[in-house]
Structure 1
C-alpha cells in the first residue's frame, strides 16, 4: 500500500527540513529510547494515531484504567508540534473573545469552556508533579503586552475579563513599570501580568510523557504512518509494514492531519505555520543594556502575534506567525522577517547572533474553538485537535477528555462547544488560499 495522504501544505512541511536547526533537539538523549515500527499484525483495545501531547496524554489516561493501548506515529514522540513549540502553558485555545464565545454558544456553555481552559493548565501542572518531570519550569503566569498605544485599552479590557472569569487579580504595568520589571522595549506601551500559567521545555515534557506511557504498558510504534483506516466492528489501521487492529480509536494528529485519514476530517481543520528563533546565550551586561531580564513568558496584542521568553540559559526565544508556504525560499524570508521584528523589539541586541530557527504547524477549526469529541460516522472513534496555538496546555487536557469519552467515564470540565462536529472551511481542499488575504488584513490591523 502506498502513502497517498491528502495534506494541504507542500511536502516540505511534513519532512525534516523545517526542524533541522531546532533548539529543542539538543535536549534529546543521544541514546534515547528506540520505538519499533509496526510489523505484521498487532491487536489492542485502544489505538491512538499520533504520539504528541494529545495522543500520549490519552494513552496515559487509558493505561490508568488497565487498557491495552497502542500508539502509532508517522515519526516519533517529539517530532511534531509537541517537540518544536514555544513551551507556553496558559489559558486559551480559542481565537474568539469571551463576548463572542458567549454570543455564539450561550452563557452556560461559555462558563464551562472557561473552566476547561483553567483546568487544562492545572492538568499539565498535575502531570508534571505526578510523573516527577524535569521540564525547566519558570515564569509566574504570563504577560500580555500592548504593541501600540491604542492597544493599551485592549490589554486592560483583557485583564478585566480575566478577573471576571477566574476571580484573580491581574497586575497592570504601564511603560515605565514594565521597564522596572525588566521588560523594557520601545515596542511595548503597557502590559498586564496574568497569574495562571508557566513556561516549560516542550521537548523534556513530551519525552517525559512518552517514557511514562511506556512504563505504564503503552506500546509506542514510530515511523509507522497510518495510510488507511478500515472500520467495521472495530478499526484496522494500515501502515506500510503491518496492521493495528483495535476496538476503539483516538486520532491525535492536529496540524499534521490528513484529509483522508480519516475521510471525516476532510476540509475541517486548517494547519497554520508558526516559526521560532532562538539567540545565543546573552551576557548579563547585554541584558542590562536592553533592560530586559525578566523570565516572564510574553505574548503581544498583534493579530499575527509575537511570543517570546528568556530561557533558563539566557537565550531569548522569539516566535511569530504569518508565513503561508513551506519552501526553502519562504523559510529564509520568514527568518529575515523574524530577525527584523526582533531587532525592532530589542534594538540593543541587533548584533546578537541567532543560532536556531525552525517552523511547524499549529491547527485551527472553522468555529475557532478546540475540538475534543466523537468522529462522526465512526462509532467508537474520537479525536482532539485545533488548539489555535495553545496546545501545550490544551492538547494534554483534550487527550484526557477523549480518553474519558472512550471509556464512558467523563469527570473533567468539557464544554459542549468542543464536542460539536467540526464545520468545513470554505474552498475545501483549497482552503489554504484563505490565509494570504486574511494575513494581509491582520498585518494592516496590526499597523493601526
Structure 2
C-alpha cells in the first residue's frame, strides 16, 4: 500500500525548481497597521494578483493580502501548463445559464490564454513562455476522444489549430513509446508559473496596489464597510474579494465545505542538455494524458524534465514522493533512469464537486473565487478580469458563473475525503480498463 504523509508547508516558498530559479524579487512588508481601501483582495496567487492588477488598471485603490509569499500556493507550484477552457462541460448547466451562457463560457475559455500573452507583453515579464501542447493517448478510446475534442474546438470557433497525430506523427513532438498518438494544438503552452506570478505582482504594485506578505487573515467582519483583520493589522474597504482557494482554510465555513484540497506533485531532473532534452520532447511542448490521475510533463528553460502527477483526494503526499514519481516518469522515458532528481515538491489544488470554478457573493460586500480543480493557470486570468469588471459595475460574465449551483461535499469534515478517495479509486480502475 502506498505510504502517505502530510505535505510539508512553511511560510516561505516550497522547495521547488520554481522557487530555486525565481527572478530576484522585492519582498513585500507585513501588514502592521489599520488601513482603508476601495477593495481588499485576500490571497496573492494568480486570481488575487490579476484581479488586483485589473482593478489598479481601472484606477481603484487596492490592498492585496497574502498569508505567506506571492505565489506560495498552487500558482507557484503547478506544472506550468497553459490550458484553454474553463471547467468541464458547461452544457450541464444550460438550464441555469442558458445557451448564451454556455457559449460565453467557451469563448472566455479561449480568451483566457490570450490574457497571459497580453500580460507578458505589456509588462515585459520574463517567465519562459512557450506555445505548443500535446494531449497523448494511452488507449484507442483516447484517440476517439481527441477526434471529438478537435471537432468541438473547431465548432466553437477556436482560432488555434488542432492536429490529430498517429503514433509516428506524435514522435515529432513527444518521443515516447508509451503512447498511441495524440492531439497537438498551438493555443496551449507552458511557462515558469512563479516568475509569471511575481511579475504580475510587480505590475500591480507599480500601479499603486499595496501588497502585504506574511499577513494571514484571521477574521472577516461583514458590514456596510467590511473589515479584514490579519495577525497584526486590518483593512476596511468597500468590497472584499476572497481568493485563497484550497488554502483559505475555515475562514468562511460555507466556502470550505464546497472545496476539497487535493494534492498533486512534481519532480525536476538535473539539466539534461539540449541534445537529450530535445530527443525526449522534440517539439518542446507541454504534455498531458487524459486519465483521472493523470501524468503531465514538459521541459524547463534549462532543459530539465518536469514530471508531475499523483493527484489524489486524501490531501496527503506519498512518503517516497521522488521514488513514486520517478517510476512513473521512467514508464514514459526509460532513458532517464540515470538522471538525478534535483527537486521534488507538492501542493494543494482546490477541487469542486461539479468541476466548475466557483464564483459568487457571501453578501453585497464580500465576493469569492475558488475551485479550479487542477486547471487554473489560464482560467484564473480570465476569472480575474470578469471579477474586476463586476466590481467596477459590469457583472454580466461574473453573474453567468454565479448562477451555476455548487454543492457541499457529502459526509462533512469526517467522511467527505474518504468518500472522494474511494471515488477516485473507481475512476483509476476505469482508466486502467
Deviation readout 1:216-242 (Å, 9 max, x if unpaired): 111111111111111111111111212
Q: Write the distance in 2 (CA, Å) between the matches of 1:187 and 1:432.
A: 32
Specify the alignment match of 2:428 in structure 1: 443
Q: Deviations over 1:176-206 (max 9, x none)?
A: 1112x14121211010112312211111101
1:324 Cα deviation after fit:
4.0
Q: State the distance in 2 between where 1:14 and 1:227 align.
A: 21
Shift of 1:139: 2.7
Q: Of residues 56, 65, 79 in structure 1, which corresponds to 2:58?
A: 65
Q: Distance in 2 between matches of 1:71 and 1:370?
A: 21
SS at match of 2:419: helix
Q: 2:260 aligns with which of 248, 267, 270?
A: 270
How many residues align? The count is 428
Whole-angstrom distance in 1 between the partners of 2:27 and 2:76: 17
What does 1:175-324 align with in structure 2 at a 5 Å threshold? 175-179=167-171, 181-259=172-250, 261-287=251-277, 291-324=280-313
CA 1:353/1:437 → structure 2, altered by over 3 Å: closer, same or farther?
Answer: same
The alpha-carbon distance between structure 1 residues 228 and 12, as it changes in their structure 2 partners (threshold 3 A), is farther
Helix, strand or coil at the partner of 2:257: coil
Alignment partner of 1:232: what SS? coil
Q: Does 1:47 align with 2:47?
A: no
Asked if structure 2 preserves the Cα contact closer than 8 Å seen for 1:143 and 1:296, the reply is yes
**Structure 1: which 5+ residue stretches go unaligned?**
1-9
**1:152 matched residue in structure 2:** 143
Residue-by-residue CA offset, 1:386-436 (whole Å, 9 max, x unaligned): 11222111112212222221121347x557145445321111223222232
SS in 2 for 1:281: coil
In structure 1, how many angstroms separate the alpha carbons of the residues matched to 2:56 and 2:155? Answer: 37
CA distance in structure 1 between the partners assigned to 2:402 and 2:431 by the alignment: 29
**Counterpart-to-counterpart distance in 2, 1:317 and 1:37:** 33
Matched residue, 1:362: 349
State the match for 2:409 in structure 1. 425
Q: C-alpha displacement at 1:366, in angstroms? A: 2.2
1:385 to 340, 348, 370: 370
Secondary structure, counterpart of 1:195 in structure 2 = strand
Change (3 A) 1:440 1:191: same
Q: CA deviation at 1:19?
A: 5.9
- The whole-number CA distance in structure 1 between the counterparts of 2:212 and 2:405 is 29
Asked if the contact 2:11/2:69 (under 8 Å) is kept, the reply is no
For 1:7, the equivalent position in structure 2 comes to: none
- CA separation of 1:59 and 1:287: change in aligned 2, threshold 3 A: closer
Please, which runs of 5 or more residues in structure 2 have no aligned partner?
none
CA shift, 1:306, in A, is: 1.2
Q: Contact (CA 8 Å) 2:387, 2:398: kept in 1 or not?
A: no
Superposition RMSD on alpha carbons, in Å? Answer: 2.4
Structure 2 residue aligned with 1:132, among 115, 121, 124?
Answer: 124
